[in-house]
Amino acid sequence: MSQPKKNKVLLIGIAIFGFFGFVGPLLFTLFSIFTGGEQATPPPTPVANEAIDPKALKVQIDGYQTVLKREPNNLNALGSLAELYLRSGQYAQAVPLVEKVSALQPDNLQITQQLVALYVQTKQFEKIPATYARSEASYDQLLAKDKNNLNGLVGKARLRQIQGDLKTARTLLDQAVKVAPADLKPQVKKLSEQMLAPPATAASTPK
C-alpha cells in the first residue's frame, strides 16, 4: 500500500474513534479490519449477538485456539477469537488476546484504544497508563526517524488529546497540517479541528 493510502486509512480510523470514543459495547465488529495480517483459515460465520449458539461458538473458539497453538502471532486468529469472546460477553478471556495484538502492533492507535476500552470494561484501570505509554513510545520512534512523519504526528497528537494535553496535541497537529501532502491537507486540517474542538455543551432547557 502506498504511503498516501496508508495515511488515509490511519486518518479515517482515528476520525472514527474521535466520534465514538470509549463506548460500550466495544467496537470489535471492526477488529478484523484493523488487525489485517495473514489468514491461516477462512473466517467463521459470525455469531449473532442476539442468538449465540453455545455449540457453534465452542467449535469456532476451538478452531482459532488450534490455529494459535500452531501460529501464536497470527493476527487474524487473535482478532477473530477476541471478537468471539467479546460478542459472547467473555471479556476477561479477550484481554490477553487483545494485549497480544497491541504488542504486535504498538503503533496501531485503534487497537490501543480498544484495549483501553476493554481494560475499562474489566476494571483493570491500573494497566491503562502503561498501555498509552507504549503506544506513544512507538510514535516517538517514528518521529525520531522522521520528525514530519504524518502517522507519528497525528497518532501522538490523538494520544495527547485523549489524556488532556491539548497544548502538545495542538503543536503536533499544526505540524501535521503543515507537512501533509496536498491531497491529504484538507483531511488533516478537518481532523485537527475536530480533535481540538471543546466538548459540546448540553443545550439549556427552555424556561
Which pLDDT score is estimated for 149?
A: 92
CA distances for 143 relative to 4, 43, 132, 148, 152, angstroms: 17, 36, 16, 7, 6
> What are the residue ranges spanned by the domains of the chain?
3-196
Which pLDDT score is estimated for 110?
A: 81
Beta strands in 145-206 (DSSP E): none
Phi and psi for 78 in degrees, rounded to 5?
Answer: -60, -50
* Cα within 13 Å of Cα(17), Cβ side: 28
Q: At residue 5, does pLDDT exceed 60? A: no
Which pLDDT score is estimated for 51?
A: 63
Amino acid occupying residue 87: R
Which pLDDT score is estimated for 70?
A: 96
Contact 101, 75 (CB under 8 A): yes
Which pLDDT score is estimated for 200?
A: 62
Q: At residue 55, does pLDDT exceed 80? A: yes
Q: At residue 62, does pLDDT exceed 50? A: yes
**pLDDT tens per residue, range 156-185:** 998 899 888 999 999 999 999 999 999 999
Please give the grid coordinates belonging to residue 57. 461458538
In this structure, which CATH number among 2.60.40, 1.10.3470, 1.25.40, 3.10.180 belongs to the domain 3-196? Answer: 1.25.40
Q: Please report the DSSP string for 65-98 in residue order.
A: HHHHHH-TT-HHHHHHHHHHHHHTT-HHHHHHHH
**pLDDT tens per residue, range 117-161:** 888 888 898 998 888 888 899 899 889 999 999 989 998 998 899
What number is the average pLDDT over the span 14-39?
38
